[in-house]
Structure formats: structure tokens, C-alpha cells
């Protein structure tokens, strides 16, 4: 009887439910704390039960990535390639930023999933529809690289900075002096960037601005190449490289 009640109360597992729970758990506790055991516990189930719905942990991670990719808005229509690409990337960025672990997982994936391929395919489609040659589209995709997903490798992830504000003032000062001596340029750049608030080193910068800055730099470059009919076939023409 109590068993029946329990069974009735328990919503049966499904692949989607497992994936959704995994995404939620990763959001909460971070990707490194996401284990099959922990996830099972969260679902009120024994670890091995998960394996009826996902083949293994790799496949779980793939599914999680797919779930995030599905959150990216489709391409807008009739807006010109540049604007279309820009909006799409920023949409991807929004999706990935809501799940801080997604970047890491996406990059660590060794087997590309259909959803990822689909995104890449439609991404290339935006350039082709904009009149880009297949050749230029190819190089452009490489040049964008992971920026297609809306993220950049963060520079100042944490230069021993996380607990900087927790440190005693004199310790802060000492660290500051040491930085000034050993990494004068970093200090110069970082303090200039944070004049308007934030901590002393890094984090003072507006990530969104930095991202858009780089994105637009690339898009402008693409535009220029496109307009002048650039092709990699010309590369044997002897421009000096080393």
C-alpha cells in the first residue's frame, strides 16, 4: 500500500527528466560536483537507474550541451548577414552565460552532437546567404572559432584575485607592490580598466563590451575581405609569412 502510494507519487524517470535535472544541478553546484551518484540522489533514485536513460556520463554531458544549444534563438530573417550573425552570437552568449559550466563542457566534448552540428550548419548558412563564397565562409568560421558560441577565453579568470578583497589591507598593499614590480604592464592595464569600479586587478572590465568589441572587429574584417573578393587561393602569391 505505502509502496503503491510511493510509486504513484514518483514521476517515472525519462531521458529528458534526467537531462533537465543534470542541467539544474550543474547550475547549482558546478560541473565538477556533478556526479552520477549525486544526480541520482537528487532524483531520489539509485545511481544505476540513470543508466537506463543515458549510456554513460559522456552521453549525459552531450545531452546537457544539446539542451543548452536548444536555448539559442534561431537566426533572424532578412536582416543582412552581419546583423544576423551578430544577433545570433549574442543569443548564444546569453544562453551560455546562464549556465557557466556550459563553456567548459562544450569545449571538452570530443564527439560533436547533432545539435552542435546543426548550429554550425545554420551558422555557415548565414554567411553563404549573405553572398560569401564557400571558401571565405570556411576561413571565417575558423577565425570565429569558439566566439561563435559567444564566449572568449577569459584572460583574468582569477589572478589570485578571488579572495583579494578578503585580504588584510597591508597584505593587499604588499601584493600590489609585488605585482607592480613583477608584472608592471598587467598592473597598468588592469588598473586603467577598473578605474570605474570593481577590484584592483581584473573584473573591473565589462565582459560584454570586450566580447562585442572583438566580435565586431572580426565581423568588420570579414566584411572587408568579402567586399574585396578575398580567396585563400591567392595565398600562393608570395605574401611573406614566417
Partner DNA sequence: GACGGTAGGTGTACGCAGTACACTTGTCAA
Partner DNA sequence: TTGACAAGTGTACTGCGTACACCTACCGTC
Helix (H, G, I), strand (E, B) or coil at 138: helix
**Alpha-carbon span 235 to 48, nearest angstrom:** 55
Residue 104: CB minimum distance to a copy of itself, A: 8
In terms of Cβ atoms closer than 10 Å to its own Cβ (0-12, 13-18, 19+), residue 175 is middle
Q: Which of 14, 135, 165, 231 binds a copy of itself (CB under 8 A)?
A: 135
Burial of 203 (0-12, 13-18, 19+ CB in 10 A): buried
- Grid cell 543548452 in the structure block, residue: 68
Does 125 participate in binding a copy of itself (rule CB under 8 A)?
Answer: yes
| CA–CA distance, 5 with 92 (Å, rounded to integer) | 43
For the bound state, the minimum distance from the C-beta of residue 16 to a copy of itself, rounded and expressed in Å, comes to 22
From the list a copy of itself, DNA, none, pick the one residue 3 interacts with, judged by a Cβ distance below 5 to 8 Å according to partner type.
DNA
Is residue 76 within 8 A of residue 32, CB to CB? The reply is: no
Kindly report the number of other CB atoms within 10 A of residue 62's CB atom.
23
Complex with a copy of itself: residue 3 or 196, whichever CB lies closer = 196
Which of these segments, 32-40, 76-84, 131-139, 160-168, binds DNA (CB under 7 A)? 32-40
State how far Cα 225 lies from the chain centre.
27
Among 160, 173, 174, 180, binds a copy of itself (CB under 8 A): 160
Beta carbon nearer to DNA, 101 or 151: 101
- Does position 30 bind a copy of itself by CB under 8 A? no
> Quick check: 38 binds DNA (CB under 7 A)?
yes
For 119, residues 6+ apart whose C-beta sits below 8 A from its C-beta are 69, 72, 92
Residues that bind a copy of itself (CB under 8 A): 87, 90, 104, 107-112, 114, 117-118, 120-122, 124-125, 128, 134-135, 137-139, 141-143, 145-146, 152-160, 182-186, 188-190, 192-193, 205, 209-214, 217-218, 220-222, 225, 232, 235, 241-242
Residues that bind DNA (CB under 7 A): 3, 7, 10, 12-14, 34-38, 45-49, 51-53, 56-58
Amino acid at each position: 500500500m505505502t509502496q503503491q502510494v510511493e510509486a504513484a507519487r514518483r514521476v517515472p524517470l525519462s531521458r529528458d527528466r534526467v537531462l533537465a535535472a543534470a542541467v539544474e544541478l550543474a547550475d547549482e553546484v558546478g560541473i565538477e560536483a556533478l556526479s552520477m551518484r549525486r544526480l541520482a540522489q537528487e532524483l531520489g533514485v539509485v545511481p544505476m537507474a540513470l543508466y537506463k536513460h543515458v549510456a554513460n556520463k559522456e552521453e549525459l554531458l552531450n545531452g546537457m550541451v544539446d539542451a543548452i544549444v536548444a536555448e539559442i534563438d534561431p537566426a533572424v530573417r532578412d536582416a543582412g548577414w552581419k546583423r544576423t550573425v551578430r544577433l545570433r552570437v549574442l543569443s548564444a552568449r546569453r544562453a551560455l552565460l546562464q549556465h557557466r559550466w556550459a563553456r567548459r563542457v562544450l569545449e571538452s566534448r570530443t564527439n560533436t552532437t547533432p545539435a552542435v552540428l546543426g548550429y554550425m550548419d545554420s551558422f555557415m548558412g548565414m554567411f553563404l546567404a549573405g553572398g560569401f563564397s564557400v571558401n571565405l565562409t570556411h576561413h571565417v568560421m575558423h577565425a570565429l572559432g569558439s566566439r561563435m558560441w559567444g564566449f572568449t577565453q577569459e584572460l583574468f579568470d582569477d589572478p589570485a584575485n578571488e579572495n583579494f578583497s578578503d585580504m588584510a589591507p597591508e597584505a593587499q598593499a604588499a601584493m600590489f607592490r609585488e605585482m607592480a614590480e613583477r608584472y608592471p604592464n598587467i598592473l597598468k592595464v588592469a588598473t586603467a580598466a577598473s578605474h570605474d569600479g570593481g577590484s584592483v586587478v581584473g573584473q573591473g572590465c565589462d565582459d560584454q563590451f570586450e566580447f562585442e568589441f572583438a566580435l565586431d572587429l572580426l565581423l568588420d574584417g570579414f566584411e572587408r575581405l568579402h567586399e574585396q573578393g578575398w580567396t585563400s587561393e591567392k595565398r600562393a602569391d608570395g605574401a611573406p609569412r614566417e
